[in-house]
Amino acid sequence: MWGGRVRSLFRVWGLVPAELPGRRPLSEHAASQAGSRGLRCWSCGGPGYSGRGDGLFCPQCRALQPPDPTRDYFSLMDCNRSFRIDTTKLQHRYQQLQRLIHPDFFSQRSQTEKDFSEKHSTLVNDAYKTLLAPLSRGLYLLNRKNLLTM
């Protein structure tokens, strides 16, 4: 019952059990880098999201990949890292991303992809709300540069 789920979770976390032929478990350091570029796809095991495109989908199997926890809101929303941003461009990018990753589009997919979709959608919503309002955008910029302590 749990075999498939556990295996897919190991793949998501970057830990592949040693009993799988041709695979070896990653080190703890490599496993802690889950979500960073250059990892293998959790679904097909192929070279995953190595920086091509948005890094949201595997280039081989088109499975939605886990969100990158190190990615900041400006790079996610394709904006310059400054206080002045083009809010029209921000709105278009928000709509573009939601058309790709909204949970409604993943209702017929695996539970893992549904979970990733929810996480991506939440991240995009947070990024959009933060960057759209000037005060929260300024606070976010200061926080990213370690100039704000809360």
pLDDT single digits (tens) 86-143: 999 999 999 999 999 999 999 999 999 999 999 999 999 999 999 999 999 999 999 9
Q: 49 burial class (0-12, 13-18, 19+ CB within 10 angstroms)?
A: buried
- Which of 23-32, 37-46, 109-118 has the highest average model confidence (pLDDT)? 109-118
Two tokens, residue 38: 């250059």
Q: Which residues of 74-96 are buried (b: 16+ CB within 10 A; e: fewer)?
A: bebbebeeeeebeeeebeebbee
**12 pLDDT above the threshold of 80:** no
The neighbouring-strand residues paired with 40 are: 47
Question: How does pLDDT run across 48-100, given as a tens digit for each residue?
Answer: 655 445 779 998 899 999 998 889 999 999 999 999 999 999 999 999 999 99
* Residue in 20, 65, 16, 64 with CA at minimum distance from that of residue 38: 65
Q: Quote the CA–CA distance of 146 and 38 in Å, as a whole number.
A: 27
Which pLDDT belongs to residue 150?
A: 57
Which pLDDT belongs to residue 78?
A: 94
**22 pLDDT above the threshold of 50:** no
Please name the residues in contact with 4: beta carbons below 8 A apart, sequence gap of 6 or more.
none
* Residue in 75, 54, 56 with CA at minimum distance from that of residue 140: 75
Cα 2 to Cα 7, 20, 28, 103, 112: the distances in Å are 8, 16, 23, 24, 14
Which pLDDT belongs to residue 48?
A: 61
